[in-house]
Amino acid sequence: MSVILEADNLVKHFRTGGGLFSKAGRVRAVDGVSLRIEVGETFAIVGESGCGKSTLARLLMRLLDPTAGEVSFDGQQVTRARGKALSTLRRDVQFIFQDPFSSLNPRLSVGRLVGEPLEVHAPEMGRSERREKVAELLRQVGLRPEYADRYPHEFSGGQRQRIGIARALATGPRLIIGDEPVSALDVSVQAQVVNLLADLGRDLGLTLILIAHDLAVIRHMSDRVAVMYLGRIVEQTTTDALFEAPRHPYTRALLDAVPDLDDRGGATRARIEGEMPSPAAPPPGCTFHTRCPHAQALCREKVPMLEAAADGHATACHFWREIEATPRVASRRIRSDAAHARLNLYRRATEGAEIIPVATNGRPSKSPDNREEDT
């Protein structure tokens, strides 16, 4: 496998305060992340709100400059890209935003929104060719081509996210980064958009970086997963290994917090003890020690490095070997299967909906969910 995107020890600290009433400080949003993303894979990043996922995503595509560290895309430095190199990066790497309600300019028609990236990156394209390309892109994401004349407010959240995906596909990208692309959508619509992304990824040979906090989505879509806590990766491995045998106490707690199948309202899920500390004042040593049931004196003093075992499964915990031998609070098999079953439930729920077959490169869709939702 060849590497498409590589991050080396990325750091992003934001300066805060320093005004009349507050002391100057630093928020360690991303605090030393290294990654290698392979061509064609779906790589998931998971972690609680505030752990640095969005900041990391923005660093990876140079929407932010890092405090330290390097990113390279296709062997080219992203961090220092200028001129043509930056323009190529903007064409090849696209972003899908979390909130389909605020990410689309309400004053532009769908046709303009989807066609705009073509105006920038394919200026040689004539108007009628561009219109045809926009129609094809709308079809690819399960929307009617005649929607090109309408405006974002005329669409549901799921449809707006499809417009966002069509816009991202317009430049023919090689890598798409989705920052919680379904978390603002109704549960019934989430699976449709998840399956659309999975189908597009496979059919177009895209590499996907998917930021999600829903473990069911991650299990369903991703090949590998990185778990983040307070700006660092604490565990990274294949999706199967993560769900079958998580090693870091934080990951184990996250998986145990997955809602059960009958937990429709999210009322009875287990919680990870305590609050995540502020990234403006992270605890010394292992930053998870304030919440870790296995913490020992060493954990408060020494930062555990993210180290890969012989099987490639990487964990940042001094005691993961000892902890792996201890039973988990909840039955992991039941819990993670429950998450998977929940996604299957979503799938079945959409089977009766009105269908517009989605043509991806002119081929019919493989998934029953990869089509327009009309809710």
Ligand X SMILES: Nc1ncnc2c1ncn2[C@@H]1O[C@H](COP(=O)(O)OP(=O)(O)O)[C@@H](O)[C@H]1O
Structure token digits, residue 216 = 């069911």
- As a whole number of angstroms, the distance between CA 13 and CA 28 comes to 5
294 sits near ligand SF4 (criterion: CB under 6 A): yes
Partner touching 289 among ligand X, Mg ion, ligand SF4, none, CB below 5 to 8 Å by kind? ligand SF4
- Binding-site member from 10, 30, 54, 288 for Mg ion (CB under 5 A): 54
- As a whole number of angstroms, the distance between CA 295 and CA 304 comes to 12
- Binding-site member from 58, 247, 289, 313 for ligand SF4 (CB under 6 A): 289
Q: Closest distance between ligand SF4 and the C-beta of residue 248, in Å?
A: 6
Distance set, CA 314 to CA 40, 70, 205, 239 (Å)? 21, 21, 27, 12
Residues 6 or more apart whose CB falls under 8 angstroms from that of 284 comprise 300, 301
Partner touching 14 among ligand SF4, ligand X, Mg ion, none, CB below 5 to 8 Å by kind? ligand X
Structure token digits, residue 308 = 């890969």
> Is 135 in a helix, a strand, or coil?
helix
Nearer Cβ to ligand X (64/356): 64
Q: Parallel, antiparallel, or unpaired for β 175-179 and 207-211?
A: parallel
Backbone region of residue 75 per phi and psi (left: phi > 0; alpha: psi in -120 to 50; beta: other values):
left
Distance set, CA 103 to CA 100, 181, 280, 311 (Å)? 5, 11, 28, 41
359 sits near ligand SF4 (criterion: CB under 6 A): no
- Binding-site member from 9, 16, 87, 375 for ligand X (CB under 6 A): 16
55 sits near Mg ion (criterion: CB under 5 A): no
Window of 48-56, 191-199, 291-299, 317-325 that interacts with ligand X by CB under 6 A: 48-56
The site string for ligand X over 120-149 (x = CB under 6 A, - otherwise) reads: ------------------------------
- Binding-site member from 166, 226, 317, 339 for ligand SF4 (CB under 6 A): 317
* Residues 95 and 167: beta-carbon distance below 8 Å: no
Residues 6 or more apart whose CB falls under 8 angstroms from that of 355 comprise 371, 372
Q: Closest distance between Mg ion and the C-beta of residue 306, in Å?
A: 21
Contacts with ligand SF4, residue ranges (CB under 6 A): 249, 286, 288-289, 292, 294-295, 299, 304, 317-319
Contacts with Mg ion, residue ranges (CB under 5 A): 53-54
